Structure 1
């Protein structure tokens, strides 16, 4: 066998097994970069805090069509009463008054823009977060 034939055969043998070799399932092409995924960003609360045997009074600016979301968790109950959430529109008209049992989420889509008032009352300890979401 001459040297040229030996090298050709040796290279051919090495290439054949590598051509179909893949360490990934399903023979996927390892040279492809995976597509980046974009997750919805988690909105930051406009206001948040903790209230103990008192009330928290917050004003949040909301545009017409946006949604106000209020999340409340009753951390510690008290015999003096539970936790209550009130929402008022920019005309100071009460939209709702809701009791919280352990934790709750309340939402309201604004019919008008302006400063909405959120009040959290508690006899124990409660934490809250207020979000404004665009649809």
Structure 2
């Protein structure tokens, strides 16, 4: 019993850390600032994206290892998987774009097909993350 309570506490810590990193990333991308400021903050944003990915993996692993069941497990996994998916889809977008330019040349590639992964990374994953966060928060705060 003690181990499962510790597991749930660890999951909550990872969850709230992941939420904090998301808010910081959101501030970086949404708050309008000068280009020079964005460039200066880019290394910090890159570290935050990597942290977001790592905490997403940690949340997913801890939830799978825990005895959490039902809707809370689904919402926590949705939160973790969408955090992982963000970086994966950004990298796939850039890889496919670069790979097709390498294969077919710059003049052949118009840049429309790789947008699928960009849409997944920039629109779908954040929406799924927010759905997972809201559902998890409602169920965690209900306890």
Please, what TM-score do these two structures have when normalized by structure 1?
Answer: 0.21
Give the TM-score taking structure 2 as reference length.
0.20
Which protein shows a greater Rg?
1
Q: Specify which structure has the higher proportion of strand.
A: 1
Judging by fraction of residues, say which structure has more helix.
2
